[in-house]
Structure formats: C-alpha cells, structure tokens
Structure 1
Amino acid sequence: MLQSGLSMTVNLRALSRSIVYVPKHRPPDLKDFETLKEFLTKYNKILILTGAGISTESGIPDYRSEEVGLYARSNHKPIQYQDFVKYPKVRQRYWARNFIGWPRLHHKAGSKNVIELHGTGYIVKCLNCPYEVSRTELQEKLLRDNPDMENNFGMIRPDGDVDLTKEQESRFRSPLCPKCEGPLKPDIVFFGDNVPKLRVEVVRNEVSSSEAVFVLGSSLTVYSSYRIILQAKEENKCVAILNIGPTRADNIADIKIATKCGDLLPQLCSTIL
C-alpha cells in the first residue's frame, strides 16, 4: 500500500468539528459496487494508492476538495521545503502549528507493507547530523518546553497543522538537535522537495510487480503520485480510481467512480474477504 497524502488522527471528541470535510457527492449505486467488486476479485496483487481524501470522513481535511478542502477555506499554503531549511521563524511556525503530533494512521489501522511515499512525521531528523528521534519521544520535550500551549485548537489542516494566534507562535520554543543543536525536521517530503530516489525505485518495483492499481482519495495532482499511474498504464496495468472529485488521471484510468470511499469499501470488504 502506498500512502501518498499526509494523514493523521486526533481525538475527535475533544476536537469536535462544525465543518464537514467531505465534499458534495452522489451516493453510490449498485453498478458502482459491482464494478469495483469485479475489479478487486479479478486481480490477486493490487497496489493501493491512498491520498489525504481517505481521511476526510474521519474529520481530517484534505487540500483540494471543492468548498471544504484547505485551499477552499483559507489562504494558507503549506510550508515550502527551502523556507523551512533557511528560516528559523518558519520552523518555529511549523512546530508550533504541528504541536499535536503525527500518529501513523495506516499502521494504526493494521495495514501491512505500507510505503510512505511522502515520508512520515512519526520520525524526526536533524538537518545537520545523523540524529533522529520518534515523534512520540520528541512530543514529551515539546510539552516540557511549551507548557502554556492551549489544547483548544481552531481549524485543523491536512498536514497536521492547527490554527494558532501570532502570539502563540512567537513564544513557541522550537526543538533543536540534542547532539549538535541543529534544526529538526520531520521525515516528510515538504512541498518543493523531492521524494528520495531509493523510495522512488521501491515504488516503481511495486508497480511493476502488481497486476493493477487502486487509487483511493487522491486527486493525483502531485506528480510523484501521478507518475505511478503513468507507469502503470505504460505497463498495461488496470487502474481504478475511487475519489469524489476529478483527478489528474481520469482520462487514462480504466475505472473512475466518484463517490465516498466509506460508502463502498466496508461492504466490498465484507463481501470479498
């Protein structure tokens, strides 16, 4: 399984949301169910590519969904890689807004053989030396260094950020490497950065060894995800997409169903497995 988008889970009871993050959609019909059932039973080895849209039904927004995605609801944009590396203030803003942490959603759900295409926030690395630490361990230090951080956060974003005031941001103490005092960065591929070459090769090999590709909750706008579909089609693989909105690969996919994942997948699993 490929995890394309950056996903997270939070205590939704504590952070109840008045905003619905699932975009407008039509309910699935019997034809949708039968089409995907046939697809899933036809192939023995299917590569599954998930994006941020896989989590919208859990109250976690994505970036690009019409009317309800981050870009539609605010003028905030994700932090760029070069800005994070260059500017301490940008790193301070990132860590302050990413204070609630990064549990691994797919791993918590029991998924096996997960390739985190765009990395994971669960691991944090120093930009200047080989030091790395789990986000769980780092969280303890963040809490010690920032005891006055409020738990009543505003808007939550697909990359794990939350809305804070400028005052909260300015007094936040960013984490530093305990070995060399260099800046720490989560092991994720920021916007403007590249997916590591080794990981790209691993993904390419997985595509080649699979019989089909199933896309769930991704617009495939980012090229690192879209090129997976391009490779699959070059190798004559069948591609199915389950995503509410349009995707970059709609014109080359063999199957495109525009409805909510949660309205089809549970029933498909109970029927097939």
Structure 2
Amino acid sequence: MTFDTDLKGAQAHLAKLLDEAAAAVAFTGAGISTECGIPDFRSPGGLWTQNKPIPFDVFRAHKAARNEAWRRKFAMEEAFAAARPGRGHMALSRLLERGRLAGVITQNIDGLHQASGLPDAALVELHGNGTYATCLDCGTRYELSWVKARFDAAGGVAPDCPACGGPVKAATISFGQAMPETEMARAEALTRGCDLFIVIGSSLVVFPAAAFPLKAKKAGARLVILNREPTEFDDLADLVVRTEIGDVLAPFALQA
C-alpha cells in the first residue's frame, strides 16, 4: 500500500495509474457528493444517525411506514434538488469522454453522475435512483412532483398507484430489498474486466456492493481508495488517499 498525503503527489500517482490502465473503473459512494451539499449516511451526523432506515418489507406492508418514508424523502428533497455535480463527478465524466474510464459503478441515488453528462450506458446504479418513483407491483414510473402533489393534498398520506393500486416507492434499494439483478451483473462484468479499480468516497461497509473492490483486486486489478476516512480495504490498496475528493480530482475535470 502507498499512502499519499501530499495532494500533488496523490494527483500525479493517480494520473500515472490511469495512464498505465487499459480499462479503469470508478466506484463511487456518498463522499463524492458531500461537496455538492448532499449529506452522507454513515458519518457522525449523517442521515442514518438521525433516522432509523425503514426496511423494505415494513414499507410494503404498512401504510404508516410508507407515509413516514415519503415524509422523510420530501424533507430532504430540497437539498437533493438543489445539488449540482461537483468536481469529482465532472472529473469522471471527462475521463470517460477521453476514453480513460470503462465505466462508473455507484452506490449513490442522487442522479448527479447523469447531471454531469455521464451517459446511462456507462453508469451502474447499484442502489437505484432517488430522483423518481415506481410502483412496486406494476413498475409504472412516477415523477416526484406527482407523488408530492398527492401526498400534500392528502395531508401526508402516500399515494398508491392509479394503474394497479400498488405501493409507490422512490426508485431506490431499501434495506431488505433485493439488489437489481441487471445492475449487479453489469457491475460484475466491469469489475472482472478492469485493470484499475478506483474507489471514491465510499466507506466500503455496505455489502454486497462493497465486495466489488475486493473482486477487482483478486482478479489482478490495481486498487485505489480515495476516501476521507480509513476503510477495511486500505491494506489491500495500491494507493490510498485520505483528503477532500474534489481537491484530488479537480485537475481531471479540466477539458483536454
């Protein structure tokens, strides 16, 4: 493991690894979006320290749980809606444009990778997307504005699907909900096919998503971990950088 605390040194080391890579993959977590005004989940004061997550089976079974889930969602939505892509998002978008990345796997649900210009074909959203909703029974998509108008009109009661009567949920993966098979398969293919795996802003404690860096390393890829806090995989990494993500990636966001 190389532990780099010097910003210029870290940038140069990362640039060298990218130059040497034939197929680099980025894996992003909440830390890439914190400079955009979106709070993370697991750090002190994060969202999960303020509200216990509502398990998927509870959401599906109880109207009161759905009401509470949507209340929380709309309470946070102002911060999410106002967020714009940060330097990390823009760096990855530029690297993909220049053919330096094979793809991006993300644990995030904020839609900022798409807003940076990253195409859906190059993005794997393991935990879904919080910028819209779907019916859990028939799959009909609903915009958040549609849900909120009916939620507010009903005095804080979550709407059901007009098409089939099923529960409407933000299009994210909740605790106890099955991971999306297609996205997991896409992430597996990217991981197995890369020779450089770059973790950006993830604590690497949420499984099965956090297993991908280990799979990449076991398959022979170099591993970079860029995160403000230590992770359990740091000893396996070829480069560890613990500083502000936007500061490290800012030069890579510049147009070629």
Give the corresponding residue for 1:152. none
> Do residues 91 (structure 1) and 66 (structure 2) align?
yes
1:209 CA displacement: 1.9
What is the alpha-carbon distance in structure 1 between the residues aligned to residue 153 and residue 61 of structure 2? 27
More helix by share: 2
> Do residues 217 (structure 1) and 201 (structure 2) align?
yes
- With the length of structure 1 as denominator, give the TM-score of the two structures: 0.73
Instruction: Name the aligned partner's letter for residue 114 of structure 2.
Output: H
Give the corresponding residue for 1:107. 114
1:184 to 161, 164, 168: 168
In the alignment, structure 2 segments of 5+ residues that lack a partner are: 82-109
Give the corresponding residue for 1:82. 57
What is the alpha-carbon distance in structure 2 between the residues aligned to residue 87 and residue 36 of structure 1? 48
What is the alpha-carbon distance in structure 1 between the residues aligned to residue 210 and residue 147 of structure 2? 38
Instruction: Name the aligned partner's letter for residue 161 of structure 2.
Output: C
In the alignment, structure 1 segments of 5+ residues that lack a partner are: 1-25, 149-170
Within 5 Å, which residues of 2 pair with 1:196-215? 196-215=180-199
C-alpha distance 44-83 of structure 1, shift in aligned 2 (>3 A)? same
2:235 to 243, 246, 251: 251
Give the corresponding residue for 2:30. 52
1:60 CA displacement: 1.1
1:27 CA displacement: 7.4
Let me know the Cα RMSD of the aligned residues.
2.4
Aligned residues: 219
> Do residues 261 (structure 1) and 236 (structure 2) align?
no
What is the alpha-carbon distance in structure 2 between the residues aligned to residue 252 and residue 27 of structure 1? 17
CA contact (8 A) 1:226 1:248 kept: no
CA contact (8 A) 2:131 2:170 kept: yes
> Do residues 238 (structure 1) and 245 (structure 2) align?
no
C-alpha distance 51-202 of structure 1, shift in aligned 2 (>3 A)? same
- With the length of structure 2 as denominator, give the TM-score of the two structures: 0.77
Instruction: Name the aligned partner's letter for residue 148 of structure 2.
Output: L
Secondary structure of the structure 2 residue equivalent to 1:177: coil
1:124 CA displacement: 2.2
Percent identity over the alignment?
A: 32
